[in-house]
Amino acid sequence: MFKKILIANRGEIACRVIKTARRMGIQTVAVYSDADARAPFVQMADEAVHIGPAPAAQSYLIADKIIAACKQTGAEAVHPGYGFLSERTSFAEALAAEGIEFIGPPVGAIAAMGDKIESKKLAKEAGVNVVPGFVGEIEDTEHAVRISNEIGYPVMMKASAGGGGKGMRLAYNEKDVREGFESVKREGLNSFGDDRVFIEKFILNPRHIEIQILGDKHGNILYLNERECSIQRRHQKVVEEAPSPFVTPKMRKAMGEQCVALSRAVGYYSAGTVELIVSGADPTGESFYFLEMNTRLQVEHPVTEAITGVDLVEQMIRVAAGEKLAMTQDDMKIDGWAIENRVYAEDPYRGFLPSTGRLIRYNPPVPGWTDDGAENGRRGVDGVRVDDGVYEGGEVSMFYDPMIAKLVTWGKTRDEAADKQIAALDAFEIEGLGHNIDFVNAIMQHPRFRSGELTTGFIAEEYPEGFHGAATDDGTKRTLAAIAGFLATARADRARQVDQQLGDELDPPAQWSVTIAGSTFAVELTEDDVLVDGEAVDIALEYTPGQRMVACDVDGKPLTVKVEPFRAGFKLTTRGAIHQVQVLPASVAHLTRHMIEKVPPDLSKFLICPMPGLLVALHVGEGDTVEAGQPLAVVEAMKMENILRAEKAGKVKAVNAKAGESLAVDAIILEME
């Protein structure tokens, strides 16, 4: 077994590998860029080596620097994590030339499966079902248009070396191809150093299902069941679960055996994943097609670990050291259900725009339970795993992937795992930048998710107008009104005690007018009850002013609410929705009708940069006439290109930015007349 390994990656996956290596008694070496000098993975490792500036192209993607760090520290092997150099044949070859073991598959398998064009050719030759499409070199945009017209719309354009949702565009017509082809090429070149693109038919009502593969160097290859990864946004996975609610035992066996056969054909060993696209329109569930093979560990590997009990990182290390797998296919049972939500630095309330910045507050949910069930308003959740690589006070940088953490829950059933996600997400505290916690919380409650009727179009279909918070029923409003009245009374009582602000004899008001989501409630606190419109609410809670989170019991069921006070009430966040709750003493509430409404300024004539990023392209100039929907500019943030379009027809009055400039959020790019 190795005595020391180096992790050629960063963030949560570096932390994840270090934890397993430490448990195995293996020393670890971290490599880090300027941006990651204080990152948790650097602190966790036994040794750390600085490898360059923040941009990945100047640090994590330079193989020579990784190899030099191995020589400097005496690391015998390298775990590449995912992304960066994990699927670069040149990196694996360079390590082999230096006598350093690559904790991953053989070079031949990486080469065969890592190139999407070549992998489809090989899969077809091996008798594997492949999606209809053009497998070959595409010369230019006109060639792409001809190919797409021949295949028939809709089509998917993909960077050949792509992954993680990067370098992908869905085209419903010729116009979409003309607008998107060059962006796909640029994203492929910027993210993977390869601008080749292929085009294939887009399967309607598709489900994205993948099979986890694990093999050793002695010819043993297993499939560790499947994962459902259909809930995606912009082809980037958001929610993953294992097993899939769609896959039957017969289908699982057919998929698994086919994926093992494909792996065996390329001499595969280590962990890998075969991704399949499944037609949800086929009631038999037998129409599945090879999509690609990822010759590395997947981001969503924890859900497989949760239902199989297999530590995939440990197995990768043992396989790289030459050990045989200690388990057989018959050992690969399914125990319970696991769900993973990716917590991203993006703001769903602003069209999922990337959100970079400092984590002013970062408190992930607490696994397990404290003795009394809650502490400082924070309640533990059993069956929870959090994989992260950030820390409170740290920065989420524009240079890397926007994922903050992975929240994994396990339950005996799918509903139990989903309920634990809701409880854990309610207790997940992030401040300082936008995040998608409310959004994934809403998904966990969505009737369609609960039914298991999933496709890759779930988000677009269920949130066509964007995300504005989870739906709130009247019962939840009444509960929040009761909580708000309790909080207001506690705050008023605190004010009375501090410096005699309300006088010695004056009791705090206990009758409140609470307005939430357009509904107004009369809330009264008595010695024994909290009354809402004269009816008692079964609620138990403790609150000290200044506390940011409240753990309640409502009708005997736990509920966690994030609390942010403001002058006339509270912002209460729970169950995937933010509620601006106005709380006024009942005696003065009627005076609000005399307040003047503040009208926000009209910004419709400005093209405003919606996120910090690089202005890649500017398509118009001063004096140009534009039509509604016309692309005006392209901004790149967190390795993704975002096309900014005209909201209405008009004429460009002034241009305030140039292509190649780094822009701050809300920077004015151009002004219309």
Q: Are 482 and 512 part of one and the same domain?
A: yes
Boundary-marking domain end, from 285, 316, 335: 335
| Residue 122 located in a structural domain | no
**Nearest CA among 134, 65, 312 for reference residue 212:** 312
Q: Cα dihedral sign for 460, 239, 430, 482?
A: positive
Q: Are 459 and 484 part of one and the same domain?
A: no
- The more confidently predicted of residues 340 and 505 is 340
Instruction: Supply the CATH number for residue 149's domain.
Output: 3.30.1490.20
| Residue 33 located in a structural domain | yes
> Quick one: pLDDT at residue 105?
98
Q: Are 331 and 212 part of one and the same domain?
A: yes
pLDDT exceeds cutoff 60 at 374: no
> Quick one: pLDDT at residue 282?
62
pLDDT exceeds cutoff 50 at 373: no
- Which residue reads 């020393």 in tokens? 27
pLDDT exceeds cutoff 50 at 203: yes
pLDDT digits (tens, 9 = 90+) for 273-294: 999 999 876 666 567 889 899 9
| Residue 371 located in a structural domain | yes
pLDDT exceeds cutoff 80 at 224: yes
Q: Are 358 and 262 part of one and the same domain?
A: no
> Quick one: pLDDT at residue 187?
85
Boundary-marking domain end, from 166, 182, 201: 201
Q: Are 441 and 491 part of one and the same domain?
A: no
| Residue 127 located in a structural domain | no
Instruction: Supply the CATH number for residue 63's domain.
Output: 3.40.50.20
Type and span of the H or E element at 95? helix 89-97
Domain that holds residue 69: 4-103
Structural tokens at position 637 = 């943030």
Q: Are 395 and 295 part of one and the same domain?
A: no
Q: Are 90 and 149 part of one and the same domain?
A: no
Boundary-marking domain end, from 169, 201, 233: 201
Q: Are 499 and 537 part of one and the same domain?
A: yes
Instruction: Supply the CATH number for residue 542's domain.
Output: 3.30.700.30
Enzyme catalytic residues: 292
Residue 464 C-beta-side C-alpha neighbours within 13 Å: 1
Mean pLDDT to the nearest integer, 247-264: 93
Q: Are 583 and 617 part of one and the same domain?
A: no
pLDDT exceeds cutoff 90 at 598: no
> Quick one: pLDDT at residue 536?
93
Q: Are 390 and 509 part of one and the same domain?
A: no
Q: Are 276 and 163 part of one and the same domain?
A: no
pLDDT digits (tens, 9 = 90+) for 310-346: 999 999 999 999 999 999 999 999 999 999 999 999 9
> Quick one: pLDDT at residue 284?
60
pLDDT exceeds cutoff 60 at 371: no
pLDDT exceeds cutoff 70 at 639: no
> Quick one: pLDDT at residue 283?
60
Average per-residue pLDDT for the chain? 90
How many angstroms separate the CA atoms of 390 and 395, rounded? Answer: 8
pLDDT digits (tens, 9 = 90+) for 405-452: 999 999 999 999 999 999 999 999 999 999 999 999 999 999 999 999
- Angle, helices 107-114/116-125, rounded to nearest 10 degrees: 100
pLDDT exceeds cutoff 70 at 31: yes
| Residue 108 located in a structural domain | no
| Residue 123 located in a structural domain | no
pLDDT exceeds cutoff 50 at 142: yes
Q: How many domains does the chain have?
A: 6
| Residue 555 located in a structural domain | yes
Q: Are 220 and 325 part of one and the same domain?
A: yes
Instruction: Supply the CATH number for residue 407's domain.
Output: 3.30.470.20
**Nearest CA among 463, 460, 419 for reference residue 441:** 419
Mean pLDDT to the nearest integer, 75-85: 97
| Residue 585 located in a structural domain | yes
Q: Where residue 167 falls among pLDDT bands split at 50, 70, 90?
A: confident
Q: What percent of the chain has pLDDT over 70?
A: 94
Q: Where residue 164 falls among pLDDT bands split at 50, 70, 90?
A: low
